[in-house]
Structure 1
Amino acid sequence: MNIHTYLTPLSELLDSLYTLRIADVDTSDEAYQAAVQHWNERVHTHIAPLLAQDELSTFAQRFNLDAPQLALCLLCLLPRFDERARYPIERLQGSSSANGISLELLLYFVSDDRAQRAQLRASMQHLPVFKWQVLQIQAHTQLGDPMLMPSAELLSYFAGAIAHSDANECATLLEPPKHTLVANIAKLPEQSIQVISLIGEAGIGKKSAALQLSGQRPLYVMNHSKFAQFTDKHLVLSDVLRLLLCQGGDLYWPQGQQLLNDAPELVRICADWLSQSGGRLYLVDDAPFVLPLRLQDIANSSYELSLGSHIELANILQAMFVAYSAPDQIVDINYQQVCYHYPMTPAQLRALVNAVVTSASQQPITSNEVLLACVAHSARQLGELATRITPRFEQHDLILSADGHAQLNELVMRFEHRYALESQGVELESGTSALFWGRPGTGKTMAAEVLAKRLHLPLYKVNLANIASKWIGETEKHLAQLFDMAERQHSVLFFDEADAVFAKRSEVESSHDKNANLGVSYLLQRIERFTGVLILATNFKGNIDDAFLRRLSQSVEFTLPDEPHRLKLWQSMLKGHFSYSADIELKQLAQRLVFSAAQIKNCVRHAMLLATAEQTTQLSKAHIAAGAHREYQKQDGNTMVEHWLKQWALSK
């Protein structure tokens, strides 16, 4: 906007007013009447064409201003934009124009009728230009006559600037993102709809939806917590809405209905703004709510936003990578696969893209980098109910039968190819689940880590002590929270010693038995709906209720390693900083000591402790024998093997 298109003619008019010296002429003099008549003719000649300009017409319509009110606005702007206007104004009103323009002087500009000027002065508080404080009155001045000042929003509008916030910084302009917005509202509302309720969890895309619905209109976001701190909320809200009227904008107000329901005056101000502006008010919350009664009388609509399909999310993710990565940096990303396994909110996808692009710098980006970033962005805990474990092992670290390895591979295939099967119409169970069972120390926890690492999923180990409760219904409540959080984190949920929760149902002999059976029944239903990966681990398969076993994808047995595998374990654990004496035959240890992997590790650690205490890094037979002895002490002992250990430790 070229402000001088409007103000230059007015400045010339003001200069002619000064030239006529109306202010200096005695009102009883005939020359005064002639001067006024000449002045009125020039006013109509200069102002009438200006009021027909499109931009001025738009501004007038937004505030419902008639020609005299619009002329007042323009004249108040004169000394701010045109230096030539300052001297005549100061001369005519007898004070500095920096303090504004006197009301009496302005009324000369807009009306040649004394009665009309008196009427304007009497009713000006009810005029839109003063109601919305487009022009602000300073009542107490040295001259005694009120002075008018242009509002900051009026100055910004005619300077051609977009105001980014109101004077109190309660409402801020929402800049559209660089990436293309993907529609997440199926049916757009009619133009007549002015009050829109947007409901959905944090990050689901409510702001994006409002941006889409507002189209070319600027969208301002209300800072609810900051606004709530003001005591004179009606004045602050009027300031915000004056900004929106100037800019032709809409208002996005999170939790706004919470204040409006208890403040009829604020509702009235919003209703007045809506009826005058034709703008939109977006009231936003996580849960459904009821509009204040007066807003229910205005055309309104409600939208509950939910997570889109993996295809819709893939479109959003792709748009973000295109916008925020370097040209040709994306080499190979299977967007649908990522979003199928990690159905994140748009806000989470945006954070993911930022992390991947920042980490990659200018290097190529593939699906692998994206999947690793998905895991890295997972929460450290699921409340107090489960703790995240960082996987340390690869599948080749597992000492497992060939069939056990095959079953782990099948679990991975079941997860990775689910999308392909479903797209061909194959109905599958909601998630992927397995039972890992076998003696302690045989690698069940290690296998869970391996599986999580291969699937690029975070692994959460359940804190069973925080799940179980003696209070009726509390255990089920904790389990519901746990499964819900695990689904939101798209994770592997690992129940170690699962028989504490998934035990067989018993005959009902007491209220305790009845409640325990109810807990098992709830678990059976929840497992069927669980969309993540569930791993149960137990030492005794027979302790698990048969109904659970029928619902699991796989049952993997972990047995004690055979002699060749035990030899590999001894060899791998005796590598590194410590060496062992030449008279130690690992094959002999593997043959005689039928240990699990955990027992071999404990034995070696104990031997290293003894060697360190003796200030040596070489393990002797005595060190190994002492470690093995401690492992047998944890069990019932094995007299024959322990006798052999004593002889072996003394042999040369």
Structure 2
Amino acid sequence: MASIQEEHNAIVAAERHLAQCFYAFGLALKEANEDLEPAATQLHNATTTLAKTTRFLGVKAWFDLTDSEVTLLALVYIQTLDPDCVAPFIGLSWFEQGPTLSLDKLLTLNDKYLSKRTLLAENIGSSRLFTLGLLNQSSHYMSLSCAVQISPLLQQYLQSGCVSSSDGALFSAIKKYGIDPVFSCSFAKEQHKIIAKYTLLNHDNAEQALWYGMQLAAHSTLSVSQFIGEAEEGKQYDSQILQVELAELLLKNKGQSVVIYWPNWVSYLHIAYQNLRAIIQQLPQVYIVTMAEPQQRKHDIEHVDERVIVMPTQEKVASSWLALAPESQARFEARAWQLATHYPIALERMNTLSQHAIQLMHTPEDYWSTLQAQCLQTQSVGCDELAKLSQSRFTLQDMVLANSMAQPLKELVARVRYQAELKARLPRLNSGCKALFWGKPGTGKSMAAEAIAGELQLPLYLVNLANIASKWIGETEKHLAKLFDSAERHNAVLMFDEADAIFAKRSEVESSHDKNANMGVSYLLQRMEHYSGLLLLSTNFKANLDEAFLRRFHNVVEFTFPTETERMTLWLHSLGGNADDDLLGVITPLAHQFELSAAQIINITETALLQSLMAGRALIVRSDIACALKRELAKHHAGFMAQQDILKWLQGGHHGPDAIV
């Protein structure tokens, strides 16, 4: 701490001494002394002393300035810091305009022999002092007669040793990032260091490219700033503005090396920005990380390191999940593999999700289940108006299914779970899984889709067919492409209910409408062939689908009405603990007498429970079921015989006085 104070005292003393010498030279000039050399020598020595203090030497090194440039900077700095030092120059020809000396007079004072020829010969106008905006003039063109001002940020640094951030900068605040274990596990070690002035990332995802660039910087222990001036597409900035902002960025970082993530740097390589390119090339502490289209790669960039970012395999992603896990949980390879295969989480988000799961878990054993829930939540993103994101409430264990339906559904789940193993053994295997559910309404097709998504812990997209179809040519295909891309990106289960409305048979072309409809079906055939996720279609009428679709399904499952035994199980499962003992005693004849679908049984139970609550009863009684049953059958125009069947069931055993249908 003492050395810092001593350094500060030395700088203050040098500033005070230079201000005094500046003032003394002005007085000598004003008094028309014949011998100005002593005053000029004192001024020169004082300027040199200030120029050799720590902060000035730092600026000199950062921007590669000459001794003459630094002494000129010291003169401008001191007259800005202490304007009174130029007071004696008032009324003299040296004081040409404004409250400060002109560049012409400052160049003269810069030399103890009061000669400006040396600096003029060095072309002071092209000095980095001016090209980087460290010094500037009010005139757009360099003029010896104009006053010179120092950059406010540079003045702030030279005076206090630090720089505060300012609003509206084209470069983001400088940050240092830690090393992400995911990067270390996912990419080869030779990719972990910046090895060139320019690093060009061959990738089409801006967020992942930014994360990759940050990790390159982290492995090289460098700070990062991001060029954020691309608010408007195609907008570019004046070269001088960029050069000034670049200098300010280095001031804020105190001359330390910085990686600038500049996504569209290649677009600044044309001739209008040659000064900017030259300056960046000459600043050893500046590194550029950029992205470019294939046709732009390496264009006009020397010594470029082109990085082709190949996304890691599922094995490496699984290894990354294991590396993120707490030490006690780092042996569960199967759980890590499940996350890698089920959830295409962006690499840059994996560490955040893992840390969040660690915070939320109650015990170490909860880590993987908590993390899986976090991954599912992250992937559960809707596709605007084209599909509804449905939260799965069931698994296959919640369904009562005949073996002819249960087995194919289990195969669908297994096909998704063992997709990687199947692909490894059968390299020509098409990715993804497609299935058709068909059968009468209420037999469980939609519930099965939800149960499969719940079994796999994947998001479920229920397609909104009304918003998919469009009367405008080509719009339907665009909607489908957007839908499939979104579902594929989130590895969602994609469910087309009432699929025959859009997967209908192609017809003879008799009008433009027929042609467009056939084009839509043809596009679907092509797109579903290459869909890498789980695609489910449901319909009441299998015959309405185009036959070309059937070949592409891995499973075609017919959903039938439940048998008597299955209906009894459905009744007991649906009623749960909400039925009284009398009702439970007559479930068998209820299941025998009424051939109902699973959906109908659920509807009847819900209505019966509502009836019991309205009557102030805690449990459902036989009469509640009878009333709800009558209402459900009325939907299907059940007649007198149905009424008699309900009455027969209702009177089939002991019942209370309120048992009225």
Q: Choose which of 222, 225, 238 in structure 1 pairs with 2:227.
A: 222
Aligned to 1:574: 575
Amino acid at match of 1:565: E
Per mean C-alpha deviation after superposition, the further-off stretch among 429-438 and 478-487 is: 429-438
Deviation at 1:525, TM superposition (A): 2.1
Asked if the contact 2:460/2:494 (under 8 Å) is kept, the reply is: yes
Q: Choose which of 205, 209, 212 in structure 1 pairs with 2:209.
A: 205
Per mean C-alpha deviation after superposition, the further-off stretch among 163-172 and 55-64 is: 55-64
Alignment of 1:188-587 (within 5 A): 194=198, 196=200, 200-209=204-213, 212=216, 215=220, 218-224=223-229, 236-246=241-251, 247=255, 248-254=257-263, 267=273, 270-277=276-283, 279-282=286-289, 297-299=300-302, 307-314=311-318, 317=321, 321=324, 332=332, 334-360=335-361, 363-364=364-365, 366-424=367-425, 427-506=428-507, 511-577=512-578, 579=580, 581=582, 585-587=586-588
What is the CA RMSD across the aligned residues, in angstroms? Answer: 4.9
* SS state at 1:429 partner: coil
Aligned to 1:598: 599
After superposition, the Cα gap between the structure-2 partners of 1:574 and 1:422, relative to the gap in structure 1 and judged at 3 Å, is closer
For residues 389 and 34 of structure 1, the distance between their equivalents in structure 2, rounded to whole angstroms, comes to: 87
For residues 205 and 216 of structure 1, the distance between their equivalents in structure 2, rounded to whole angstroms, comes to: 18
Aligned to 2:644: 643
For residues 14 and 66 of structure 2, the distance between their equivalents in structure 1, rounded to whole angstroms, comes to: 23
For residues 570 and 446 of structure 2, the distance between their equivalents in structure 1, rounded to whole angstroms, comes to: 17
Amino acid at match of 2:378: H
* SS state at 1:388 partner: strand
Per mean C-alpha deviation after superposition, the further-off stretch among 493-502 and 542-551 is: 542-551
Deviation at 1:410, TM superposition (A): 2.4
TM-score by length of 1: 0.77
The Cα offsets for residues 343-397 of structure 1, whole Å up to 9 and x where unpaired, read as 2223443553354234227745543322221111234421211111111123222
**Is 2:203 the counterpart of 1:177?**
no
Q: Structure 2: which 5+ runs fail to align?
A: 91-98, 140-144, 655-661
**Is 2:137 the counterpart of 1:128?**
no
Per mean C-alpha deviation after superposition, the further-off stretch among 524-533 and 216-225 is: 216-225
The Cα offsets for residues 189-227 of structure 1, whole Å up to 9 and x where unpaired, read as 996764847652342233432652794554321332679
Deviation at 1:585, TM superposition (A): 1.3
Amino acid at match of 1:221: Q
Asked if the contact 1:332/1:366 (under 8 Å) is kept, the reply is: no
For residues 207 and 60 of structure 1, the distance between their equivalents in structure 2, rounded to whole angstroms, comes to: 33
* SS state at 1:204 partner: helix
For residues 531 and 589 of structure 2, the distance between their equivalents in structure 1, rounded to whole angstroms, comes to: 48
Per mean C-alpha deviation after superposition, the further-off stretch among 120-129 and 444-453 is: 120-129
Amino acid at match of 2:134: V
The Cα offsets for residues 262-292 of structure 1, whole Å up to 9 and x where unpaired, read as x986x3553353344354445558x77869x
After superposition, the Cα gap between the structure-2 partners of 1:344 and 1:203, relative to the gap in structure 1 and judged at 3 Å, is farther
After superposition, the Cα gap between the structure-2 partners of 1:460 and 1:12, relative to the gap in structure 1 and judged at 3 Å, is closer
Per mean C-alpha deviation after superposition, the further-off stretch among 453-462 and 605-614 is: 605-614
Per mean C-alpha deviation after superposition, the further-off stretch among 546-555 and 57-66 is: 57-66
For residues 110 and 378 of structure 1, the distance between their equivalents in structure 2, rounded to whole angstroms, comes to: 65
Amino acid at match of 2:277: A
TM-score by length of 2: 0.77
Asked if the contact 1:101/1:149 (under 8 Å) is kept, the reply is: no
For residues 175 and 329 of structure 1, the distance between their equivalents in structure 2, rounded to whole angstroms, comes to: 32
Aligned to 2:69: 69
Deviation at 1:457, TM superposition (A): 0.4
For residues 25 and 68 of structure 2, the distance between their equivalents in structure 1, rounded to whole angstroms, comes to: 20
For residues 10 and 106 of structure 2, the distance between their equivalents in structure 1, rounded to whole angstroms, comes to: 17
For residues 561 and 492 of structure 1, the distance between their equivalents in structure 2, rounded to whole angstroms, comes to: 26
Aligned to 2:96: none
The Cα offsets for residues 620-649 of structure 1, whole Å up to 9 and x where unpaired, read as 544433433333333364765543323343
Asked if the contact 2:18/2:46 (under 8 Å) is kept, the reply is: no
Per mean C-alpha deviation after superposition, the further-off stretch among 395-404 and 109-118 is: 109-118
For residues 553 and 173 of structure 2, the distance between their equivalents in structure 1, rounded to whole angstroms, comes to: 52
For residues 39 and 473 of structure 1, the distance between their equivalents in structure 2, rounded to whole angstroms, comes to: 78
For residues 211 and 15 of structure 2, the distance between their equivalents in structure 1, rounded to whole angstroms, comes to: 48
Alignment of 1:137-156 (within 5 A): 146=147, 149=150, 151-153=152-154, 155-156=156-157
After superposition, the Cα gap between the structure-2 partners of 1:518 and 1:46, relative to the gap in structure 1 and judged at 3 Å, is closer
For residues 45 and 149 of structure 1, the distance between their equivalents in structure 2, rounded to whole angstroms, comes to: 18
The Cα offsets for residues 281-318 of structure 1, whole Å up to 9 and x where unpaired, read as 45558x77869xxx954536876756443345446555
Asked if the contact 1:135/1:149 (under 8 Å) is kept, the reply is: yes
Percent of aligned pairs sharing the same letter: 28
Aligned to 1:627: 628
Asked if the contact 1:60/1:66 (under 8 Å) is kept, the reply is: yes
Amino acid at match of 1:594: E
Amino acid at match of 2:212: S
Amino acid at match of 1:538: T
What is the total number of aligned residue pairs between the two structures?
Answer: 624
Asked if the contact 1:93/1:105 (under 8 Å) is kept, the reply is: no
For residues 395 and 16 of structure 1, the distance between their equivalents in structure 2, rounded to whole angstroms, comes to: 86
The Cα offsets for residues 499-522 of structure 1, whole Å up to 9 and x where unpaired, read as 223334445555544443433332
Deviation at 1:464, TM superposition (A): 1.7
After superposition, the Cα gap between the structure-2 partners of 1:624 and 1:211, relative to the gap in structure 1 and judged at 3 Å, is closer
For residues 595 and 58 of structure 2, the distance between their equivalents in structure 1, rounded to whole angstroms, comes to: 89
For residues 624 and 127 of structure 1, the distance between their equivalents in structure 2, rounded to whole angstroms, comes to: 93
Deviation at 1:401, TM superposition (A): 1.5
Amino acid at match of 1:131: T
For residues 387 and 48 of structure 2, the distance between their equivalents in structure 1, rounded to whole angstroms, comes to: 79
For residues 473 and 394 of structure 2, the distance between their equivalents in structure 1, rounded to whole angstroms, comes to: 40
